[in-house]
Structures are given as structure tokens and as C-alpha cells.
């Protein structure tokens, strides 16, 4: 499973890049606004840090507006993937972008039926939101499993990008379900490193080594 960082914060992206495990980035208007930098400028900076697919979302809600914005975003860098909402206008725009060779991430997916529409429109990625479905009493991971199963049935090329992953368990379950990509906030990626037995084991290794190979004081 590929790991995308779900952030527009440059410091988080630089930290992720140093680990060497980040395959791409997803952003949305909320994340861009949080950084206080114009969309195109921030996307350009992100592309200079992470060499992978970078989702940049349109803010227009009509298909014609999405097409204008999306074409402009796609010209920023070869790695930009235009992100559109799973609405009638978004699917129409996705279909046109696909014919033009512009890659698309269809976001705000909450049902398998919607995911089929995205695949039919030629989306590169579809983004089902796991955590938000859990919030209303559903099972977001069941949705991931259903979409993966349907896409395999018909050999759709659209990749399942599991979004709204909030915990390490979410990440593991999405991987088990066969999601092609998981997009994670920085804190969720960071949490994957943590296990008390790792800390305990490392501490013991260093103590054992230190008992035998004590540093010889200077001058002796």
C-alpha cells in the first residue's frame, strides 16, 4: 500500500520525505487555507518536496468552473492530480479530464455506488472516507472492502485511496482490505512507529552493550 501524507504543511512534508516512505500527498481547500498560502503557490512548493502524486482540489462546484481550475492546476507540475468532488458536475468534469489525459482523484466518496461512477468516469483515484462513515454509525472499512472487491470484478483501473484514516488500526485494516493507497495525517504516520516493546528492547540492547564495552576514560 502506498502512503500519501494528507497535509499541506511544508514542515510535515519535509519530515515525511526524510523517512523515505511517503509516496505522495493529498490536499484539500481546508488544508491549503490552514497554511494561508494561495493554492497554486502552495502546490508548487509541495511538488518541490515530495516526488509523487500530489492531489490539488478545485473549489468550483460547477463542471465548467472545475475544468478551468483543474487545467490550470494540472499545468503546475507533472505530478499534480486534479481533485474533484463526487457530484454530478464532478463526475462530468472527471470524464472530460480523463479524455484530455489529466489524472483525477474523485473525493468525498461514501458509497460503493459512487465509487462505480468514479471508475466509469476514468478516475485515477477514488477517495472513500473511512473515519467520517464511522462517525455516523457506519463501518468505513466495509466500504473499502466493497470497493476493492467490485473493482477487481470488473478490472477497473481506478485505485482505491483510503481517506480519513485516523488511527494505526485504520491503516492496518485498510492495507488488509486491499486499498492501493492510504492517505494519512502526519500524526498517524508517526504513530505507526510506536510500540513499547521496541523502546524496551532498544533500551536493553544499549544497556547490555554498555556494560561490556565501557568507554575508557581519557589518559588511561
The set of cell numbers assigned to 187 is 500524526
Are the C-beta atoms of residues 54 and 79 closer than 8 Å to each other?
yes
Q: DSSP string covering 126-180, please? A: EEEBHHHHHHTTS-HHHHHHHHHHHHHHHT---EEEEB---SHHHHHHHHHHT-S
State residue 215's pLDDT score.
61
Residue 214 binned pLDDT confidence (cut-offs 50, 70, 90): confident
Q: Residue 131 and residue 157: Cα distance in Å, rounded?
A: 25
Q: Residue 158 and residue 103: Cα distance in Å, rounded?
A: 10
Residue 76: strand, helix, or coil? coil
Q: Residue 180 and residue 28: Cα distance in Å, rounded?
A: 20
For the chain, the residue count is: 220
Which is the catalytic residue, given 14, 78, 83, 99?
83
pLDDT of 129 > 60? The answer is yes
Q: Residue 23 and residue 18: Cα distance in Å, rounded?
A: 12
Residue labelled with grid coordinates 524496551: 200
Residue 220 binned pLDDT confidence (cut-offs 50, 70, 90): very low
| 79-119 pLDDT tens trace | 999 999 999 999 999 999 999 999 999 999 999 999 999 99
Q: Residue 2 and residue 20: Cα distance in Å, rounded?
A: 12
Is 83 among the catalytic positions?
yes
Among residues 28, 124, 48, which one has the least CA distance to residue 81? 124
Topology at the third CATH level for domain 2-212: TIM Barrel (3.20.20)
| 174-185 pLDDT tens trace | 999 999 999 999
Where are the chain's structural domains?
2-212
- How far is C-alpha 82 from the chain's CA centre? 13
Amino acid at each position: 500500500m502506498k502512503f500519501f501524507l494528507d497535509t499541506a504543511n511544508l514542515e510535515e512534508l519535509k519530515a515525511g520525505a526524510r523517512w523515505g516512505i511517503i509516496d505522495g500527498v493529498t490536499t484539500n481547500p481546508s488544508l491549503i487555507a490552514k497554511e494561508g498560502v494561495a493554492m497554486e503557490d502552495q502546490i508548487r512548493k509541495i511538488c518541490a518536496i515530495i516526488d509523487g502524486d500530489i492531489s490539488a482540489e478545485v473549489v468550483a462546484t460547477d463542471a465548467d468552473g472545475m475544468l478551468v481550475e483543474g487545467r490550470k492546476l494540472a499545468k503546475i507540475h507533472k505530478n499534480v492530480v486534479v481533485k474533484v468532488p463526487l457530484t454530478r458536475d464532478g463526475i462530468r468534469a472527471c470524464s472530460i479530464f480523463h479524455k484530455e489525459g489529466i489524472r483525477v482523484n474523485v473525493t468525498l466518496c461514501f458509497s460503493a455506488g459512487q465509487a462505480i461512477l468514479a471508475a466509469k468516469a476514468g478516475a485515477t483515484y477514488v477517495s472513500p472516507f473511512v473515519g467520517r462513515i464511522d462517525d455516523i454509525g457506519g463501518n468505513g472499512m466495509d466500504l473499502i472492502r466493497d470497493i476493492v472487491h467490485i473493482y477487481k470484478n470488473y478490472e477497473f483501473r481506478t485505485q482505491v485511496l483510503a481517506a480519513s484514516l485516523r488511527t494505526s488500526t485504520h491503516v492496518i485494516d485498510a492495507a488488509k482490505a486491499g486499498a492501493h493507497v492510504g492517505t494519512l495525517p502526519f500524526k498517524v504516520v508517526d504513530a505507526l512507529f510506536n510500540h513499547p516493546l521496541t523502546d524496551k528492547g532498544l533500551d536493553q540492547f544499549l544497556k547490555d552493550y554498555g556494560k561490556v564495552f565501557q568507554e575508557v576514560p581519557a589518559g588511561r
